[in-house]
């Protein structure tokens, strides 16, 4: 059978996109995958041999993640698709904008001219465009995905857009965040976004929130809005938004990116699934890189963000087949896409038959993933970049282990570092000298903590240190005279 591996997992499968493997059941195929790709076992299965909860298994377009399906036999033409969290519809539906609000909306002559392309579409027409003007949309994230979503919804004639983002524009943002320019570097993203919207549609009401969502403000941020668009880039915020929308009943348009791959779906529409139905738990750091760690080809946010804006407009106008209960997955590198089913989970803690989550709680990602130290744990000792630079200059006997991805090391290599991926540490621990200090490095100093804990669990007793702040903290100190930049 052919097994299609999502981009976020390919590093554990020797960068293969499609693997042809013998086996006519999911169970046999997974066993063969673990035999042929030992490093993949850690990312697919936990220490008890159970499939990790952020992994979904599809056969063709149907969800067969539940282990009860793993003995079912399939044919040679069937395809298995592995999808991790990085991450229906009828032709005729009701709009999420009521007729009362639509009837209260009017156009002047300039607006009729401006929205002429929509007015000519039979499915949208005057009524649909009035619903667009009456709509209230909140967008979390004014970065790569937010850039096309914000601009297309403003250009489409949305009445009110709220933009929530705590960050400032950085030079590295400009490659795929087309909302911003060099003149915006150092400015809050929401301020830059507001200026761009004003140039597109001056009648649009723009509300900006230069803040980080948390359990205390998330419901206020979305209160009174018709639809929420998740354009964020971290699991903590995604779970906050997902839970808040499920609890308040607001439809959520979700998009995610990684390198060349993106996904789009709609959560919380009518009786459809919520975010936790699809991804009950996030992956631990280091198992699935974020787009910040893994990079993204610059046009991909435009592709995925445009589809997200399209889904928002279909929800508002009540037209077409939407991605509720379905997820569109696009691989721009190999030019293929598929739509897989996303089912509501009766055991979901938010929207299931017996929910256990009734209010939004802050999701402590580091605590969940075991990166925080408890009182009974041996603390992970850190070393500052300045101290490491001194030890290197003094010629101290140390071992430096780089756990970053190959493409990260291609940008800036760390001098004299030994490369060992996290998934290989346990079986390669004999390559380390327990009589000297071993220092672990990654991009920001988080995956290296996971690496140290992994070796501890494997029984390694040598002294281990985490480079505080990772390569980002060290590049101007350790690497400043090494010619390490590409």
Nearest by Cα to 124 from 321, 323, 314, 322: 314
CATH topology of domain 135-368: Rossmann fold (3.40.50)
Pick the CATH number of 2-84 from 3.90.226.30, 3.20.20.70, 3.10.180.10, 3.10.20.30: 3.10.20.30
Q: Which phi-psi region, left, alpha or beta, contains residue 187 (left: φ > 0; alpha: ψ -120 to 50)? A: beta
Specify the pLDDT at position 195. 95
Question: Of the listed 245, 274, 351, 442, which one is catalytic?
Answer: 442
Are residues 84 and 268 in contact, defined by beta-carbon separation less than 8 angstroms? no
Q: Is the pLDDT confidence value at 484 over 50?
A: no
Q: Coil, helix or strand for 136?
A: strand
User: Crossing angle of helices 146-156/300-317, nearest 10°?
Assistant: 40
Which of 33-42, 137-146, 153-162, 364-373 is predicted with the least confidence, judged by mean pLDDT? 364-373
pLDDT digits (tens, 9 = 90+) for 186-222: 999 999 999 999 999 999 999 999 999 998 999 999 9
**Structural domain spans, the chain:** 2-84, 135-368, 382-474
Given the residues 231, 291, 348, 351, the one annotated as active site: 291
Report which DSSP code applies to 288.
Answer: S
313 burial type by CB count under 10 A (0-12 exposed, 13-18 middle, 19+ buried): buried
Per-residue pLDDT at 120:
84
Mean pLDDT of the region 449-456? 88
pLDDT computed for residue 480 by the predictor: 47
152: nearest Cα among 297, 332, 311, 298: 311
Q: Specify the higher pLDDT residue, 477 or 112.
A: 112
pTM over 0.75: no
What CATH number should be reported for the domain whose range is 382-474? 3.40.250.10
What integer pLDDT is reported at residue 376 of this predicted model? 47
- For the question of residue 351 being annotated catalytic, the response is no
- Angle, in degrees to the nearest 10, between helices 146-156 and 189-200: 30
Is 245 a catalytic site residue? no
């Amino acid at each position: 059978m052919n097994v299609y591996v999502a981009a976020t997992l390919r590093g554990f499968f020797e960068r293969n996109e499609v693997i042809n493997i013998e086996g006519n059941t999911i169970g046999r195929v997974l066993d063969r995958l673990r035999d042929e790709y030992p490093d993949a076992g850690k990312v697919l299965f936990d220490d008890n041999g159970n499939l990790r909860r952020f992994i979904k298994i599809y056969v063709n377009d149907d969800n067969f993640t539940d282990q009860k399906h793993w003995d079912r036999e399939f044919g040679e033409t069937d395809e298995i698709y592995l999808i991790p969290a990085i991450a229906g519809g009828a032709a005729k539906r009701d709009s999420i904008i009521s007729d009362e609000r639509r009837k209260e909306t009017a156009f002047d002559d300039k607006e009729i001219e401006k929205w002429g392309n929509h007015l000519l579409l039979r499915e949208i027409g005057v009524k649909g465009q009035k619903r667009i003007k009456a709509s209230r949309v909140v967008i979390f994230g004014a970065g790569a995905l937010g850039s096309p979503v914000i601009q297309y919804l403003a250009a489409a004639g949305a009445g009110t857009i709220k933009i929530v983002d705590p960050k400032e524009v950085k030079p590295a943002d400009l490659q795929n965040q087309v909302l911003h320019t060099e003149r915006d570097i150092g400015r809050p993203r929401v301020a830059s976004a507001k200026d761009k919207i004003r140039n597109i549609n001056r009648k649009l009401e723009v509300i900006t929130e230069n803040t980080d969502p948390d359990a205390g403000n998330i419901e206020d941020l979305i209160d009174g809005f018709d639809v929420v668009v998740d354009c964020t880039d971290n699991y903590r915020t995604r779970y906050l938004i997902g839970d808040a929308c499920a609890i308040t009943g607001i439809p959520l348009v979700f998009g995610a990116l990684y390198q060349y791959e993106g996904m789009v779906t709609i959560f919380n529409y009518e009786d459809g699934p919520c975010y936790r139905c699809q991804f009950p738990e996030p992956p631990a750091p280091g198992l699935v890189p974020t787009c910040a760690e893994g990079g993204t080809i610059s046009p991909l946010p435009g592709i995925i963000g445009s589809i997200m804006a399209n889904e928002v407009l279909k929800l508002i106008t009540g037209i077409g087949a939407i991605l509720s209960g379905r997820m569109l997955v696009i691989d721009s590198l190999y030019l293929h896409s598929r739509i897989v089913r996303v089912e509501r989970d009766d055991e979901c803690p938010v929207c299931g038959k017996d929910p256990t989550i009734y209010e939004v709680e802050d999701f402590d990602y580091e605590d969940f993933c075991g990166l925080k130290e408890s009182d009974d744990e041996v603390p992970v000792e850190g070393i500052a970049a300045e101290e490491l630079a001194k030890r290197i200059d003094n010629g101290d006997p140390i071992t430096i282990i780089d756990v970053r991805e190959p493409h990260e090391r291609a940008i800036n290599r760390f001098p004299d570092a030994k490369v060992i991926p996290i998934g290989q540490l346990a079986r390669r621990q004999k390559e380390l000298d327990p009589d000297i200090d071993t220092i672990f490095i990654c991009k920001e100093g988080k995956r290296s903590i996971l690496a140290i804990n992994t070796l501890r669990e494997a029984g390694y007793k040598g002294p281990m240190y985490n480079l505080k702040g990772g390569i980002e903290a060290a590049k101007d100190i350790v690497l400043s005279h090494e010619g390490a930049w590409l």
